[in-house]
Chains A and B, each alone.
Chain A
């Protein structure tokens, strides 16, 4: 552990060398975390996180429970603001804009950064209203426009064929996998740049999981996806980059192939090899 503590500031200083992913072109970087720390009261849950995530990729966050993956994810759309006693140091820039700037409009951030949760959480409304909810909040009232958005979002989330005849039925009548895809459709209905997925498949059967994974790869064309997962195979299957976290720190951030086949840190190797976590 000693080496780890010494290495951390070192990698901060020259992050561009430390994280190969950051070697991409500067203007390809969408999300930049700079010395991000987060405290729950006195407890430090994230420690000096530095990440540069490029556009149109899938970045997977892996690590043992409680390492801060979900917390980091929720920093991206400032959902942690709602938790009492949370303070944040450092900053996150999305498209070069500091989202923690005091004058920054949180609701517009959340329109840019959509989120899909661990447990599917459709609103107790019809399928149509679920997807139209975001656009309506955004001020779109024209029926034809909403129809188009709903249809497009459902197409993109590969749900259209299954629900096109029952758009007015309650979303709660859908199966678990369909509900999760509905949540994805709902998230993309507001045209975000980034979609955060917090263990989106952990409550689903393998077939639904496969559908969601296929969907993620399709969505990569238009969106940047950050996904937290406990399923190592899933991370290996779908992601372009993988972030390995431990005890609130980013231990390693690299191309997925490198992480899984040739990890540079011994903790990563141990975790992926199943020796702890």
Chain B
């Protein structure tokens, strides 16, 4: 036994065990998120239960749990099931708990329909007819098929409406807004001729706006003309305007391939579409876009700053007490709680710099702030500060790893220090610099607290990049996956229904961070191969 301890093996086992433990924790985390999240889109069966008191409920099964009854024997254990009954506009809640001993019968009617809507959550019921105004287009089974053929048309129409609302109307109204501000200044200065010109411009634009609005109204009317008549399981009849139907399927009537089809389409909707219903339904595309965009802006700003600062510290500064103090400060900066950076960003960037920019360049639109309020630029800059120490430290390490010999080699060929830096040292230190970028991205993509002060919102009306001049709008507020998780999970009106959404969004955030990192790692490995092949 003593030999065993003396051999040193136990310590090897200890280190191995620590590694396994860490891997298990990471693996467990991922597994939890994936299992809870990925099942979300699978169309599970619709069940109709009849209780002993005669009342009927219809919905998708969403879990069950045992009721702790200490005195009961195993065979008599009670449990209760949770049903997602939907139809929030009728019942007022999404879920229903039922004890198993209250259930009289359970059936799976093949024609049970799940209708995803733009509002009020899912609807569960049976289709009875489709109406165009007063005219009935189809009844019962025929109407299900008709509904399915109508849906793509429907989707196209809705897309058209959003396009008009977002791009055309949005663009025109920004132009009008700008011209109005111009008009105000011109009137103050008393320039008659120009005032007239601007006024006529505004009128022309307003005419265009009205035309567009007219087509919009027409589109909306055609979208609202057709109604779907749905009967719920307890006999209530509801007329749904076609425009509010997003997706229809009969899960009890579908095989695995058809269910997979629904799964894939819901998955893509999640990634590519706008959120619906206070973020608890639909997609998270704006949040994905905001996260990636913010990280990119942050990277673009932090790299030059961090690298230049590190180069000065390592290559030019006289190594002494002062530089040592600066280094300690930089290292400590990395340990400052991120919320502190958020407060700094709010005070310095938004109120300080943003406020000044507003006074200097956007005076006409005051008191409405342009840059003097949270926005993607300020959030990115705040995260730049947050990640700057990481970049500086790893760049310095990268620079230190460049052999002095190479530097002297370059100098002895008549290159000055700057040329040596640019052509030899920085390229050779590139792997280290990119390691800094990787760490910075990892830190920035996962940070939420400072963003809440500097420009993240639960629902941004438009993306930071769009088709309206000047195309990149850095002053706009944005959505972020991390904040989205918090918002959906803890702030939404329907927390219970949104739970799988939280897991799914978390999973997505992890995927995005991994993807961003992998990209940077690939670049780094490519450079490493280029710069450090074997010597002998």
Contact = CB atoms under 8 A, between A and B. Distances in A.
A25 to B, nearest CB: 30
B410 A115 contact: no
A108 B415 CA distance: 9
Contacts of A84: 318-319
Interface stretch (A168-176, A222-230, A231-239, A262-270): A168-176
Interface residues of B, number: 26
B423 A121 contact: no
A107 B410 CA distance: 11
Contact of B536 (A79, A117, A123, A176): A176
B262 to A, nearest CB: 53
B413 A117 contact: no
B411 interface: yes
Contacts of A114: 412-413
A190 interface: yes
Contacts of B419: 137
Given A79-B408, A121-B403, A121-B408, A170 B414 contact: no
Given A170-B533, A175-B536, A176-B536, A121 B406 contact: yes
B532 interface: yes
B531 interface: yes
Contacts of B149: none
B410 A133 contact: yes
B429 to A, nearest CB: 10
A110 B530 contact: no
B405 interface: yes
A142 B54 CA distance: 93
Nearest to B536: A176
Interface in A43-82: 77, 79, 82
B405 A190 contact: no
Contacts of B423: 133, 137
Contacts of A187: 412-413
Interface string A121-138: 111110000000110011
Given A79-B412, A134-B413, A117 B405 contact: yes
A86 to B, nearest CB: 14
Contacts of B536: 175-176
A170 B530 contact: yes
Interface string B302-318: 00000000000000001
Interface string A91-111: 000000000000000011011
Given A121-B405, A124-B428, A176 B535 contact: yes
Contacts of A193: none
A186 interface: yes
Contacts of B532: 124, 172
A113 B413 CA distance: 8
Contacts, number: 80
A33 interface: no
Contacts of B403: 121
A123 B410 contact: yes
A186 B531 contact: no
A170 B530 CA distance: 7
Given A133-B410, A190-B413, A124 B427 contact: yes
Interface string A168-192: 0010110110010001001100100
B406 A111 contact: no
B409 A111 contact: no
Contacts of B531: 124, 172
A119 interface: yes
Nearest to B527: A124
A79 B413 contact: no
A228 B493 CA distance: 81
Interface string B372-412: 00000000000000000000000000000001011011111
Interface in B486-536: 530-536
B414 A134 contact: yes
Interface residues of A, number: 33
B7 interface: no
Nearest to B420: A137
B415 A107 contact: yes
Contacts of B533: 170, 172-173
A120 B410 CA distance: 13
B416 interface: yes
A3 to B, nearest CB: 38
Contacts of A79: 408, 411-412
B424 interface: yes
B413 A133 contact: yes
Contact of B406 (A77, A123, A138): A123
A148 to B, nearest CB: 18
A138 B409 CA distance: 15
Nearest to A109: B414
A172 B530 CA distance: 9
B411 to A, nearest CB: 7
A30 B2 CA distance: 74
B314 to A, nearest CB: 14
Given A121-B406, A123-B406, A175-B536, A115 B412 contact: yes
A107 B416 CA distance: 7
B409 A121 contact: yes
A190 B411 CA distance: 13
A119 B536 CA distance: 12
A192 B319 CA distance: 33
Given A124-B428, A137-B419, A172-B532, A110 B406 contact: no
Interface of B: 318-319, 403, 405-406, 408-416, 419, 423-424, 427-428, 530-536
Q: Which 3 A-B pairs have the closest CB atoms?
A: A121-B405, A111-B414, A124-B531
Given A79-B408, A196-B412, 10 more contacts: A114-B412, A122-B409, A123-B410, A124-B427, A133-B415, A137-B413, A173-B533, A175-B536, A186-B409, A190-B413
24 contacts: A82-B408, A107-B415, A108-B414, A110-B411, A114-B412, A114-B413, A115-B408, A115-B412, A117-B405, A117-B408, A121-B406, A121-B409, A123-B410, A124-B406, A124-B427, A133-B423, A170-B530, A170-B533, A172-B531, A172-B533, A173-B533, A173-B534, A176-B535, A190-B414
Interface of A: 77, 79, 82, 84, 107-108, 110-111, 113-115, 117, 119, 121-125, 133-134, 137-138, 170, 172-173, 175-176, 179, 183, 186-187, 190, 196
